[in-house]
Structure 1
Amino acid sequence: MKRSYIFLATQRKRHHNIMTSPVLFARNINVTLGGNPILKNVSLNMPKGSLKVLIGPSGAGKSTFLQTLNYLIPYDSGKLELHGKVVDVDNKKELYAYRQQVGMIFQDFNLFDHLNAIDNVAIALRKVKGMKKSEANIRAMAELTRVGLEEKGDLYPAELSGGQKQRVAIARALAMDPTVLLLDEPTSALDPELVGEVLSVIRDLTKAGLTMVMATHQMDFARALAHEIVFMQDGEIIEQGSPAELLREGSKTRTGDFCARLEMSIDEE
């Protein structure tokens, strides 16, 4: 399939402070799993302070790409560059340092059931950064407060709603001071009424200037806050550009067609 790219020609005024030089750059990433090509020569740059939203049908390669950006899934060929330096993924020390700077939020929270919210956030601070327990707990509580869970620190995952669990997961990632945050469908496992509380936290992080890449089907959110939408299909980037360009009425883009079908299916439910 011949790919057509739509790039951002001009930036909207509210995004004028985004730097053009990428913090993280994935170059020509190829991934094959079980003999099947999953990602095909995918490249994406992430400027400081930008929110890039990945959309596309199931099986497009969005989750695989996000996990490849964190090198949870190794790539067959390509490069990851952080602050202009190629990451040597074969060097365990360098890869370990890289992963500390690239946080990951999953669909299913990945919390420790035997730890309360404070300890779920603090454990990486103690194990990875070597903080004392008291210091780690103070930082953990600060991050829980940041995501609106200052009164839930002593509760265990079984006592939290899905939205609260996801906010604990976000607090855990933020406590590590990531340069880039990757979010893989962070609201897909939530009941509809809980989606808003998680998106509200992500909205605040966008305003604070955190660099993020997020896979989602929440198109109203993408329209309002994404600096760039990246449409993937069959392991390739088909289109990318601002929401104003790709979703403009009458634009006749693949992205616009996909979103129209997605919204139609939601209305029919």
Structure 2
Amino acid sequence: MMLLGALAGVAVVGGIVMIIAWFRPAPEKTGPRRRRSTSLATRWNRLGKRMQTMIVLGVIAGIVVTFLTQLPAMLVAVPAAFIGLPALLGRPETRERDLTAALEVWARSLSATAGTGAFTLQEVIGITRTSAPAMLRGAVDRLYARMNSTWTASRALHAFAEELDSDDADEVVVYLIQAAEYSAGGLEKALASVADALLQREKLQTEVFFEREKPRRSLTMMTWIAGFTLAVVVFSSSSDLMTLYKTPLGGIVMAILFAAFVLILMWAKSIVRAKPASRVLLERDGASA
């Protein structure tokens, strides 16, 4: 029976892997190509080395723990913990903060170059490409390439803003579009002002990031304590309650308890998750449409 349970657990985890791989975004298309079915091996490769390692370790640990404890729920709970806990308790992404810092540096570079009055907008962007932060360099290179092709400056700048998908980037791009369409003066002062605002926003984002680290650390500590307590109870207790959990009904009850704990973690993570700010450029485009 335990062997059948272990095989069932492997099948369940395998199903989870297939679901993750199925919903994982596919690589961007580079051109028209013949449509073909995606094999299981291809979907597995899309998961990445780290996720593959966690899944394999989780399956092995789940089988071992199930044999040692005789608790069927562990077949799913242990692999799910290996896969889900790093995502629920991991450090939040810093893309917005890093992008704000990069835009601040680039805006100052644009301001200083535009302030000379000796270059056109296209030349200003071309000159600042090499000094753009690494996070922006690829997008700025593509922006300059579009402006050198048949694209209008306004269209190229809109594509640049869409690529970055950030309200901070929109603030910089809005002034560049105005300079491109209306040859408006004062670009140097406008960009310097935007750079100052971005610097203050970066500082605020850093403070918020460290404030959100506190509940994450508390959740991590709570999870470790709960896991340690569960391990002690499971491996050292022989009470009737533990005997109940070894039955199919008990396995369902334990699975519900695990699911409730995961839902609490998901709820806590959703509370501290930063909501993206509204896009300024999209709002202006919508108003003018």
TM-score w.r.t. the length of structure 1 is: 0.27
Q: Which structure has the larger Rg?
A: 2
TM-score (norm 2): 0.26
The structure whose RCO (Cα within 8 Å, separation 6+) is larger is 1
Higher strand share: 1
Structure having the higher helix fraction is 2
